[in-house]
Amino acid sequence: MLGRRMKIIDLSTDEEKLKTFFRLVSLGSLALIISTTIYGLLAASLQGINVVGETLVTFEFPPIAVFPLFYSKPVTWLAAAILALYFSTLELNVDRVSAWPKPLRDFLKFCAFFVGAMAFYEVLFNFTLWSGLIAHDAIIGELNVDVIKNPFPNPKAPWNIVFATKLFTIIMVNAAYSFYYLQRIETKQNQEPQNQRITRA
């Protein structure tokens, strides 16, 4: 029984093939999240950088000289991994979540709506601030969009705007999908009694 539960790859049916895909995506994404986070923390500590997230936006990986057609910032890889892990985890546990009490799912749906709304505001705020700071830096001739930071409300620990914008975008997308995911479960459960009545008729 334990071996069956721990089985990662199962190609016996189409459903298991899809679950296998999600399991592999989850494991790969988790490994990428952990390695990127460790790098960011170590780099910030060793380099003495106090700007939150800056170590994940100041270079490209793989290096442009090595892969000129395929590269991205570590923060982008981190964002993609978080989205993939969240989506895959939800899809792997849809049966378990469906068995939760409806009041709990409704509460989680409310939380998803609330968090998504707050994150949406932060995304708009960050893009507006980013645009203003880009214009300011361009005027004074010191434009580098990767190192623009927001010192408010704590000047001792400012946030890199690129990092903050992607972080809140991830939160907004995950919250929106969570709301849709829970609503999809509820809709399916509401349709099941109707389908049973139609079948009996």
Distance between CA 153 and CA 175 in Å, rounded? 25
CB 74 within 8 A of CB 167: no
Residue whose tokens read 């705007």: 161
In the chain, domain spans: 10-191
Arithmetic mean of pLDDT over the chain: 91
Is the pLDDT at 180 greater than 50? The verdict is yes
Query: H/E element holding 149?
Result: strand 149-150
Distance between CA 79 and CA 118 in Å, rounded? 18
pLDDT tens sequence across 107-129: 999 999 999 999 999 999 999 99
pLDDT of residue 48: 86
CB 74 within 8 A of CB 36: yes
Global confidence as pTM: 0.88
Q: Which of 103-107, 131-135, 151-155, 161-165 has the lowest mean pLDDT?
A: 151-155
pLDDT of residue 44: 92
pLDDT tens sequence across 134-154: 999 899 988 888 989 998 888
